[in-house]
């Protein structure tokens, strides 16, 4: 049985003090789901240290939104996996569609970053998903296959079993348009099939696949009740305690 995993992706929102204030409220609002649902939040880099302090001793874990693939060196403006680990980060979101579209990230680049994250002792949340044009052209499953295979290439089943994959249709992110539970389940089942080919059936059954794209308290129950939807990666609705806790409770 896979334990549900809800992660908030705050994107470029909240200062360190705003993050700490919200997390002090959130930890109380989600404490009752402790063993049933795994919960993480991904504040911007500048708020990670304050967030780590605010969630100490709670059932909320810390995630980051990106990292560099190299351990250190002349990469102005970048942050390494080790630096994140040192702040108490457990998960790193990689290959988010905003990073792919706005910052030219590739599957090969995501693959390298996964290695860095594992080496530092953290785990990746690997994002995949098609654009509206790709869906309308009937290419959704091909696009997702290429992304999953490219990003996860070369990792052992033992490592892979602990990875999280997030299926986020680009057309559903921040738009208020959610994939129907049927559309999402179809892609999630396809991804689990790819993981079976890549590793083995046992490992594929262990990997948690989150859905992301306009998840809200009122659509979370329906999405999260699908066989292969094991959690959610939540953007806009993760910025308010009541909304995020509402999504957590939909599963808990
Ligand atoms: P959204 O974002 O929930 O605001 O659509 C999801 C994401 O980008 O991870």
The pLDDT tens digits of the residues spanning 190-217 come to 999 999 999 999 999 999 999 999 999 9
C-beta 185 within 6 A of ligand 1: no
- Rounded CA separation 84/63 (Å): 9
Beta strands in 48-114 (DSSP E): 60-64, 91-94
CA angle 196, 200, 201 (to 5 degrees): 70
- Rounded CA separation 20/64 (Å): 15
pLDDT beyond 80 at 167: yes
HSE of 33 in the Cβ direction (CA atoms, 13 Å)? 23
> Which pTM value belongs to this model?
0.97
C-beta 173 within 6 A of ligand 1: yes
Say how many C-beta atoms besides its own lie within 10 A of residue 101's C-beta: 11
Distances from the Cα of 61 to the Cαs of 44, 50, 96, 125, 136, in angstroms? 14, 13, 19, 13, 37
C-beta 178 within 6 A of ligand 1: no
Q: Ligand 1, residues 42, 179, 217, 236: which to mutate, most atoms within 8 A of Cβ?
A: 236
Identify the helix (H) or strand (E) that includes residue 234. strand 231-234
Residue 240: both structure tokens together: 């308010």
Question: Residues near 23 by Cβ (< 8 Å), separated by ≥ 6?
Answer: 41, 51, 54, 55, 60
HSE of 69 in the Cβ direction (CA atoms, 13 Å)? 13
The pLDDT tens digits of the residues spanning 59-75 come to: 999 999 999 999 999 99
User: Which is the catalytic residue, given 38, 68, 96, 130?
Assistant: 96
- Grade residue 35 by pLDDT with cuts at 50, 70 and 90: confident
Contact 59, 39 (CB under 8 A): yes
d(CA 36, ligand 1 centre) in Å? 23
Q: Residue 42's pLDDT is what?
A: 99
> Which ranges in 10-93 belong to alpha helices (H)?
16-29, 48-55, 81-86
**Mean pLDDT, the chain, as a whole number?**
97
- Rounded CA separation 164/5 (Å): 9
- Rounded CA separation 229/205 (Å): 12
Q: Residue 44's pLDDT is what?
A: 98
Is domain 4-251 given the CATH code 3.20.20.70 in the classification? Answer: yes
Nearest-CA residue for ligand 1 atom 3 is 235
Question: Which residues pair with residue 9 across a beta bridge?
Answer: 42
């Amino acid at each position: 049985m896979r334990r549900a995993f809800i992660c908030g992706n705050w994107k470029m929102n909240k200062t360190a003090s705003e993050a700490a204030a919200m997390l002090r409220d959130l930890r109380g609002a989600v404490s009752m789901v402790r063993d049933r649902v795994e919960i993480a939040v991904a504040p911007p880099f500048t708020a990670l240290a304050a967030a780590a302090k605010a969630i100490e001793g709670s059932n909320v874990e810390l995630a980051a939104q990106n990292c560099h693939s190299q351990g250190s060196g002349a990469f102005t403006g970048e942050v390494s996996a080790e630096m994140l680990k040192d702040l108490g980060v457990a998960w790193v979101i990689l290959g988010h569609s905003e990073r792919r579209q706005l910052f030219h990230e590739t599957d090969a680049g995501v693959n390298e970053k996964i290695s860095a994250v594992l080496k530092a002792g953290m785990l990746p949340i690997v994002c995949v998903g098609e654009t509206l044009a790709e869906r309308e052209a009937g290419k959704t499953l091909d696009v997702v296959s290429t992304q999953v295979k490219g990003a996860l290439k070369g990792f052992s089943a033992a490592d892979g079993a602990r990875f999280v994959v997030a299926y986020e249709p680009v057309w559903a992110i921040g738009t208020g348009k959610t994939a129907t539970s049927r559309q999402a389940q179809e892609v999630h089942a396809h991804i689990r099939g790819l993981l079976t080919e890549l590793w083995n059936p046992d490992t594929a059954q262990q990997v948690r696949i989150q859905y992301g794209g306009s998840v809200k308290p009122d659509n979370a129950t329906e999405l999260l009740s699908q066989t292969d939807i094991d959690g959610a990666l939540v953007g806009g609705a993760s910025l308010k305690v009541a909304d995020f806790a509402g999504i957590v409770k939909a599963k808990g």
